[in-house]
Amino acid sequence: MKSGTCKYLVLMEQLKEDMLAGRIRPGDKLPSENALADIYNISRHTVRKALGILENEGYIAAEHGRGTFCCDRTRGSRPTKTVAVITTYISDYIFPRLIQGIYRVMTENGYSILLKNTGNSRSNEAKCLEDVMDKGIDGLIIEPSKSQIFCRHTHLYERLEASGIPYVFIQGCYPRMLDKPHILMDDCRGGYLLTSHLTGTGHRHIAGIFKADDSQGRERHKGYAMALQEAGLYYDPDYVIWFHTEDRKVKPAAMIRTMLRTMPVDGVVCYNDQIALDVIRALTEDGIRVPEDISVTGYDNSAGAHYGGVSLTTIAHPQEKLGEMAAELLLEKLGGIADTDSRVTRLIDPELIVQNSTAAK
């Protein structure tokens, strides 16, 4: 235990962490003040200050003559008619319509929406989960942050389950949690369709730009590799650019410029429309014509998928429909409907939209 006046804060945070992680469960009796003082080698006064903060925040409750007990802060005795929606971004071009689909279905069924965003940060996701559980919710729809990276806060999802609060993943799912309810695009098929379009129109030197820290990037890359193999083209890892959330605004376009100095490229399959537009902008600044010199594809069919006179060949993303499906699946879970009786499709088939950012070679 640290020395100085922060001892009570250290104890408070340790006990809170034990409760959030499920090591101390709702209804469990905490050790007495004397026992905690002995365990942590601090005074009873310091213990009392830490417990007082936890009691004020609703984590524990003291019962006269019985002791101090861990409270269940995740859910009241009656439904709140509130569901939480946690997304990576709110201002991103996909999410307004995604949220619109969720909102329409949930409000038609008498639910209010509590909206949070993580900025695609796993630590923020953990904070958002704690916050919505503290506020009291009946259910949750969540887009996981950096879904391709190992999730270190699965205990919070276990806490949701222990409290009987259903949740649905949307737009991605952690690899260890693929058995949990989720609504996804078939991103592998989408990457395959885009790459097959290029191979089928004579392209032979096709670069791929994919996001390394989410499952959509992994799946779109998988489809890209499958289409190259099917076309009899050699998969060369040097033709693949991986980027992370933090470098998405700089790395893709910069690396394409670097690649073009030493390697022939006649097509580029991009992770999404935003990356594709950044690539087209960089190519145009360097005097390279799209699609005459290099074809470029996007993903998501966003409203602003145009640069100059170029409109992106892309994959349709039914954002509003995706939100509606996630809300309908959550309603099934709230109603106790088993997966075997579900009527909600879990995987959306992609649709290729061919426009003038690609041309036959």
Q: What is the pLDDT of residues 111-162, one digit of tens each?
A: 999 999 999 999 999 999 999 988 889 999 999 999 998 898 999 998 898 8
pLDDT band per the 50, 70, 90 thresholds, residue 78:
low
pTM of the model: 0.79
Average pLDDT over residues 84-88: 95
What pLDDT is stored for residue 25 in this prediction?
85
Average pLDDT over residues 293-317: 92
What pLDDT is stored for residue 304 in this prediction?
82
Measured in whole angstroms, the distance separating CA 63 from the mean position of its chain's CA atoms is 41
d(CA 197, CA 191): 10
d(CA 205, CA 278): 20
pLDDT band per the 50, 70, 90 thresholds, residue 74:
low
H helix intervals, 215-306: 215-230, 251-262, 273-285
Quick check: bond before 181 cis, omega within 30?
no
**Tokens 């469960």 appear where?**
25
Measured in whole angstroms, the distance separating CA 213 from the mean position of its chain's CA atoms is 10
pLDDT digits (tens, 9 = 90+) for 194-242: 999 999 999 999 999 999 999 999 999 999 999 999 999 999 999 999 9
Check pLDDT > 80 for residue 93. no
d(CA 227, CA 237): 15
